[in-house]
Structure 1
Amino acid sequence: MSTFAALGIKKEFVKSIKELGISTPTEIQEKTIPILIDKKTDFVGLAQTGTGKTAAFGLPIVQQIDPNNATIQALILSPTRELVQQIKKQLFKFTKYNNHKIFVEGVYGGEKIDRQIHNLKRTTHVVVATPGRLIDLIERGSIDLKEIKTLVLDEADEMLSMGFKQDLNRILKYTSGERNTWLFSATMPEEIQRIIKTYMDPNSSRVEINRNALVNANISHRFVRTSIKEKTEAIITFLERRPEERGIIFCRTKAGTQNLTKQLIDEGFSVGALEGDMQQRERDKAMRAFKNESLQYLVSTDVSARGIDVSGLSFVIHHQLPEKLEYYTHRSGRTARAGKTGISMAFVLPNEIQRIHEIQKELNISFTETSI
C-alpha cells in the first residue's frame, strides 16, 4: 500500500486530504501522481468517473503553483458547470494548510459573465472552466492564458459528445506554447485520438485503469423484457420493491423524461426531472434537491446527467437503452461509486434484445435477464 507522501505529495497537502477522509491513493492516483509531479510531460489517462481523477491531477496542479506569481498557471476544462464547481471546491479544500493562498476561479455558463470577468481581475492561479464560457472570455479579451503551464482536459469524451469539439480545438490552439496537456477520458473515440495526435507530444505518458473493465466491476447489469404498454408499471414495481434506495432513471428524449416524471409524481414518488429545455435555475434546484436527498429519484436525459456525482445511488434504470455505446458506460457509472455495488437495470422491448448482445460484446460485460 503506498501513501500520498510516498507518491511525492507535500505534507501540507497530505494533511488536508487526510481531513477529507482520503488516506490511501486509488489506482489512478497511485499511477498518475508520480508522473505528473515530476516530469514536465503531456499525459493521457484512461479512467472512469468515480475513480479519484480529481485528486490525481488536482494535487500535482496545486503543488506546482507558484503563489508569488499572480498569473493563471493552470487551466482545467470540464464538461458541465456542476463538475466545474465540484473541481473548484476540491482544489480549494486541498490547499487548506498551505502557507500561501492559491486562488482558484470557476467560469461556466448560466451565471452572469460580468461577475466572472470581475472575479478574474483578482489574483487567480487556477481557472476551472466549461469550454463555451471560456471561449466567450477569450473573445472579450477578459482572460490571460499566456502563462499557463498546464492544461487539463477532464472527461474529454463527454466534452466532445456534448458538442464542444470546435471550442476545444480553438482553446488548444489558443493556449499552445510551453504548456503541458493532461487529458482524461473514460473512452477513446477517434476524435480524442485526433486531439492527442494534433496537440500532444507523441511520447506523452499514458495510464490506463483496467482497460477491459470499461464499466465498473461492482455494477450488476440486468434487463427485463417488457412492452411499451407495461413498461411504466414495471418501473413502478421495481421502485416499490426498493423503498429505501435512490437512483437515476435515464430516458432518451426530453419528452420521455417529462412524461415519465409526471407519471411517477402522480403515483406518489419523490422524483425530479433533468432535461435540456429546463432553465439553469430549475436544473440547479433539482440537482440540489437530489443531492441533499429531498428527492429520491431523478429522471434525466443523457446530456443533462453529465457531471452528476452523487454517492450512494443503488441503481440506474434505462427506460430505453441509449443510442451511443459510451452513454451506457456513463449512465451505469453513476451507481457503484467509491467501491460500493450497484444495479444497472434496462427495461427492453423484444426488438431490443439484439442491442443487449451488442453492448455485452463491446463493453465486455454480461447481462442477467430477470423478471420484476
Structure 2
Amino acid sequence: MTKFTDLGLDKSLLKALADEGYDTPTPIQAQAIPGVMSGRDLLGIAQTGTGKTAAFALPILHRLAADRKPAPRRGCRVLVLSPTRELATQIAESFKTYGKHMGVSVAVVFGGVKYGGQMRAMAPGVDVLVATPGRLIDHLGEKSITLQGVEMFVLDEADQMLDMGFILPIRRIVKHLPKDRQNLFFSATMPTEIGKLASELLNPNPHKVAVAPESTTVERVTQKVIFVETARKRALLCELFAEKNFKRVIVFTRTKRGADRVAKSLEAAGVEAAAIHGDKSQGQRERSLASFKAGEVRALVATDIAARGIDVDAVTHVVQYELPNVPESYVHRIGRTARAGANGSAVAFCADDERNLLRDIQKVTRQTIPSFDRRNDKGLHVMTQ
C-alpha cells in the first residue's frame, strides 16, 4: 500500500498532510504525483470526488519548494483554471492547506465581486493563481494580471468548461502563456472537442492517468429520497427529528448561509444543532464537532467543503436538505454514515427544481433511489426506519 511518505514529497508537504490526518494517497494521487513531480505533462481522466485536487496541488507545491523564487509582479508561477467560483475557492483552500508550512502565496480571481481586492492581491505577484476564465480575461484586458511567468498550467474540469461555453476564452488565455511550461489537463469525460483541446495544450506523450469515479454507494446505507416543496423542507426536517432513532445526524446544505438557517430552525424546534462551514473559525468548527461527537448536539449542519474533515463513527442518519450540484458529492455525503461496520440511513429532500440533480446522481451511482412523495402526506414514519 503506497503511503504519501513513499512518494518523495517535500517534508513541509508531508507535515501538512500529517496535520490533516492524511497518510494514504487515493488511486489518482498515487498515479499522478510522481509524473508531475518529474516535470511531465499530465492528462487525467477523473471526476470531482476522486481526490484530484491534491493529485495536482501536492506535486506542484513540491516543485515550487524545490525552486524558491519570487513570483513576477502582477503575475503567478502557477495558473489553475476552474469553471466555477465555488470550485476555484475550494482549490485555492487546498493549496493553502497543503502549502501552509512553506509560506506559499495563493490568490483567487472570479466574477461577481469587485475588481479592487483582486488587483491588490495580485499586485506583488503570487505563487499560485486560481481563476475562472471570464474574469481572468477581463484582468488580462486591463493589464492588471500578466501570465508571462507561468511555469505550470492546470486546466481543471475541462468538459464542464465546454458545457459552460469556456473553450474560446481558454484558447485566448493560453495565447498569453509562455510556450515553455508544464501542463496538467483534467476532464471527467473526453468528448471530441475536449480531446482536440488536450492535444493543442499538452506536450507530446503526456503522462496519462484514468480513474473511475467512486460510483458504488455504500452498501450498508438505506437510501430514500422524499419529494417535497422547498417551502416545506424546514417543517419536514423538524418532523424527522421527532423520531427517537434520529440520534446523531449530519444535515447537508448547499450554502454556508443555508447551513446557518437550518441550524437555527432546528434549535427553534428544540433540537440541539450546530452549523459548520468555511466562514466559521477553526476553533468554532472544532467545538461544534466535539459537541457532536460527545452527543451533546444531535444535528450537525454542514456544507460539502466543511464536511470533508468529518470522520465521526455512529452517525445514524445523513439528511441531504438540498441535493448537491456535483453528483459525486452525494456518494461522499452518504458515506458519512455506516462507518466502522455499522448500518446507516440516508434521506434526501428533492424539490421540483432539483429533479435534474437527482437524475444526474442516479446516473453516476447507476441506481434508482427509492422515492417517497411527501406531497401526498402519508406515512412519514416509513422514512425513518
The two structures have a TM-score, normalised by structure 2, of 0.66
Give, in angstroms, the shift of residue 60 of structure 1: 1.0
Kindly provide the CA deviation profile for residues 266-312 of structure 1, in whole angstroms up to 9, marking residues without a partner as x.
9848999xxxxxxxxxxxx98636996789547xxxxxx8x745334
Give 2:307's aligned amino acid: V
CA distance in structure 2 between the aligned counterparts of 1:126 and 1:111, rounded to whole angstroms:
20
> Hey, what does 2:318 align to over in structure 1?
315
* Structure 2 residues without counterparts, runs of 5 or longer: 289-298, 312-316, 373-381
d(CA) in 2 for partners of 1:227, 1:118: 45
Which whole-Å CA distance do the structure 1 matches of 2:167 and 2:232 have between them? 36
1:76 and 2:95 aligned: no
Correspondence 1:6 to 2:3: no
Using the alignment, how far apart are the partners of 1:130 and 1:87 within structure 2?
12
Q: Distance in 1 between matches of 2:87 and 2:97?
A: 15
How much has 1:113 moved relative to structure 2? 1.7
- Residue 63 of structure 1 aligns to a residue whose secondary structure is helix
Aligned twin of 1:91: 95
Asked if 2 retains the 8 angstrom alpha-carbon contact of 1:43 and 1:182, the reply is: yes
Task: State the alpha-carbon separation in 2 of the partners of residues 339 and 40 from structure 1.
Answer: 40
Task: Give the aligned residue type for 2:80.
Answer: I
Cα displacement string for residues 67-117 of structure 1 (whole angstroms, at most 9, x for unaligned residues): 22533221112344444344334333434444xx54333323354322322
Q: Partner amino acid for 1:317?
A: Q
Name the SS of the counterpart of 1:56 in structure 2. helix
User: In structure 2, which of residues 135, 146, 171 is the aligned counterpart of residue 133 of structure 1?
Assistant: 135
Residue matched to 2:147: 145
Write the deviation string for residues 311-351 of structure 1: whole angstroms up to 9, x where unpaired: 349635377x89xxx853445544536996976545679xx
TM superposition shift of 1:57: 1.0
1:175 aligns with 2:172: no
AA of the residue aligned to 1:68: K
Which amino acid counterpart does residue 223 of structure 2 have in structure 1?
Answer: R
- Tell me the C-alpha RMSD between the 2 structures: 4.8
Report the AA paired with residue 64 of structure 1: R
Q: 1:127 to 1:339 in 2, by over 3 A?
A: farther
Q: How far 1:174 sits from its partner (Å)?
A: 3.6
Aligned counterpart, 1:288: 279
CA distance in 2, matches of 1:290, 1:343: 30
User: For each residue in 1:226-260, what CA deviation from the matched residue of structure 2 results, as whole angstroms up to 9, or x when unmatched?
Assistant: 68799756655445443642323579xxxxx9xx9
**Distance verdict in 2 for CA 1:207–1:329, change over 3 Å:** same
Distance 1:133 1:230 in 2: 35
Distance 1:30 1:140 in 2: 40
Judged with a 3 Å threshold, the aligned counterparts in structure 2 of structure 1 residues 308 and 70 are, in CA distance, closer, same or farther, namely: closer
Describe the superposition over 1:187-211 as per-residue Cα deviations: whole angstroms up to 9, x where unpaired: 5566644533443356432222335
The residue number in structure 2 matching 1:58 is 57
Count of aligned pairs: 339
Match of 1:282 in 2: none
Q: Quote the residue 1:22 is aligned against.
A: 22
Q: Percent identity?
A: 29
Match of 1:248 in 2: 252
Tell me the amino acid that sits aligned with residue 327 of structure 2. Y
Alignment correspondent of 2:294: none
CA contact (8 A) 2:227 2:350 kept: yes
C-alpha spacing 1:227/1:13, structure 2 compared with 1 (3 Å)? closer
Secondary structure of the 1:8 match is coil
Structure 1 unaligned regions, length at least 5: 252-256, 273-284, 299-304
